Amino acid sequence: KVSIESTDGRIIYASAIVPAISSTFQKYEVSLIPNAALIQSSTLDVVFVISVEGTASSTVEEGTQIFFQLVSLYPPTWRNKPRGLRIDIADKLAAAKPAILRFPGGSFIQGIKVGDEVIPYMWEETLGPIEQRPGYIGIWGYYASNGMGMLEYLEFAEELNATAVICVYSGLALGSYSHPIEEMGEFVESALNAIEYTI
C-alpha cells in the first residue's frame, strides 16, 4: 500500500494498493488522488508511506526483505508530460526565455573517485525507461536516478526554443584524479556519440 499521510499518521490524504509483489523486480504504477475534502490548505506536513499488509490468503514472513530500485512520486507536470518537470520551475525557466540550455551541470559531469574506483558520468546511461537507468552517485553524497536524462534535456531545450549546449566528461574526477591520455578513447567516443545522437 502506498499513501500520502500527515506526519502523525492521523490523516490519509490519498492511498492506493499495489498488486501483489513478486520475487523478481517489476515496475508498478498507481495513481494517488487526494481526497479534496481532507485538504484545508497547502501544507508540507506530509509523508509518503509504503507499507506491506498481509491478507488471509498471503502472509509475509517476519524478516522478509523487500528491495525498491526506484521510487518516484510525481505531482501534475509541465505540459502534462509523463514523468515530466515541476510546473513552477519549468514555467519560470520558460518565462526567462533562455537562448541556451546547458546540461548537465558542471559538478554533475565531473565524475567521482570512490576508493580505487572512478565513476564517470556517461550520458548513454540516461536513456531508456527510467527504471532501467542505472543512475549516478554524483558528488553530493546522494544517488541521482537520471530521470532527467539526455533525451529529456534535449526535448526541454526544444520546448524553450533554446540552443542545447551539451557538457561531456573531460576525464577529470573529483578527488584529484585525471584519466591518463591513453584511457581517454572511450570518453572521446562517448562525446562524438552524444553529438551524433542530438542530430
CB distance 151 to 130 below 8 Å: no
Q: How far apart are CA 128 and CA 123, in angstroms?
A: 11
Output the pLDDT for position 83: 82
pLDDT along the chain (199 residues), means of 10: 91 89 84 82 84 65 77 88 90 96 84 78 90 81 85 94 92 80 92 93
- For the chain, count helices (H), then strands (E): 4, 9
Q: What distance in Å separates the CA atoms of residue 81 and residue 74, rounded to the nearest whole number?
A: 11
- pLDDT reported for residue 57: 53
Contact of 48 with 4, CB cutoff 8 Å: yes
Block residue for cell numbers 490524504: 13
Q: Could you tell me the three cell numbers for 25? A: 523486480
Write down the pLDDT at residue 59. Answer: 59
Contact 187, 179 (CB under 8 A): yes
Per the CB < 8 A criterion, the answer to whether 70 and 131 are in contact is yes
Q: CB under 8 Å to 5, separation ≥6 — which residues?
A: 11, 12, 13, 46, 47, 49
pLDDT at 111: 79
Length of the chain: 199
Side-chain-side CA neighbours of residue 60 (13 Å): 13
Q: Name which of 97, 144, 148 is nearest 119 in CA terms.
A: 144
